[in-house]
Amino acid sequence: MVDSLNTSLAQLSLSRLGAAAAAIDEALGLGQGIRLGQSTVFSSKVHAFNSHSPEHVKIMVNTDAGQVFYYRSDSGRIGHLDIFHECGAINHQVAAYYVCSALERYRTIAVQQSTMMGTGVLNPDLVDIQTATGGGRITGSLHGGQKPSVRRVHENHVHVALQLPTNNLLCLFYIVAAVETAILDLGLELRCNERISYVEAADCQSDLSPYTDQTDSLLAGQLLAKHNQQAGCLVSDSTPGLAAECSPAYSYTGSRFGAGPQPAENC
């Protein structure tokens, strides 16, 4: 593990993150979103931002990240993280390596602490990433998400989608810390999210084909998996986080770690 990541993770205290994890769980239960630190937005919904004011993130309350990104039939099972940074290309392979390392560190700590016995530990195979250089499953080939339109809409944030652990949200803080460290190590600055609000998506059935690409994700619904198996290709979806991160006016997407979770505000 690189020294910078090791230092960042060493600053995380699981014993002090319990209240923050409870706040996340409450927000998810209400179908809302939350800020993690200053630069990260998290929810189980699709996110959107205006290209002229990316610091204001809108959470599309009538969308479900799993259904939109992965054609799943269930809802509330896919978490959606967007970590914002200055415009630039974040090497997705580096970011994926950092996240894998952070989750392994978290797993080691969780096993050692008796108070966490019986809690869920996130399987890294169920985590996808997308940046301006590409994306895919963090434990996979990472050869997906190469379409120019897909890469372009991720020039100012790193998108992470994951299957929500049913009884342990503490791993989210490790993922955020890992991505933030990768951003900083790659020479870009983090960007603060100043406002979160709730809106309804006007058209949930928009043609998103320009913003889909091949991926080896394991988060896709059975219908999509069956379709792609019949087509003889890799699973193809709104490669992590693409859904509505597409409009020139509104990019649908999905902090420096440490400020703690902050509830979104209503419009």
Taking a C-beta distance cutoff of 8 angstroms, is the pair 256, 58 a contact?
no
Which pLDDT value is given to residue 241?
38
Which pLDDT value is given to residue 247?
32
- Enter the tokens of residue 264: 């979104």
User: pLDDT tens digits, the chain, 267 residues: what are they?
Assistant: 789 999 999 999 888 898 999 999 999 999 999 999 999 999 999 999 887 788 999 999 999 999 999 999 999 999 999 999 999 999 999 999 999 999 999 999 888 875 665 566 789 999 999 999 999 999 999 999 999 999 999 999 999 999 998 778 999 999 999 999 999 999 999 999 999 999 998 765 555 555 567 778 999 876 555 655 655 444 333 444 333 343 333 444 532 223 344 444 443
Which pLDDT value is given to residue 238?
40
Residues 6+ apart with CB under 8 A from 143: 134, 136, 214, 216
Which pLDDT value is given to residue 260?
41
Amino acid at 159: H
Amino acid at 141: S
Alpha helices (runs of H) in the chain, residue ranges in sequence order: 3-10, 18-29, 65-70, 92-112, 148-152, 171-185, 222-231
Tally of CB atoms within 10 A around 113: 12
- Rounded (5°) CA angle 257-260-262: 120
Question: DSSP per residue over 12-74, as a string?
Answer: --GGGSHHHHHHHHHHHHTT--EEETTTEEEESSEEEEETTEEEEEEEETT--HHHHHH--SS
User: Distance (Å, rounded) from C-alpha 227 to C-alpha 48?
Assistant: 28
Evaluate the CA torsion angle 227, 151, 40, 184 in order and state its sign: positive
Residues 6+ apart with CB under 8 A from 231: none
Which pLDDT value is given to residue 52?
78
- Give the count of domains, the chain: 1
Give residue 223's domain range.
Answer: 3-263
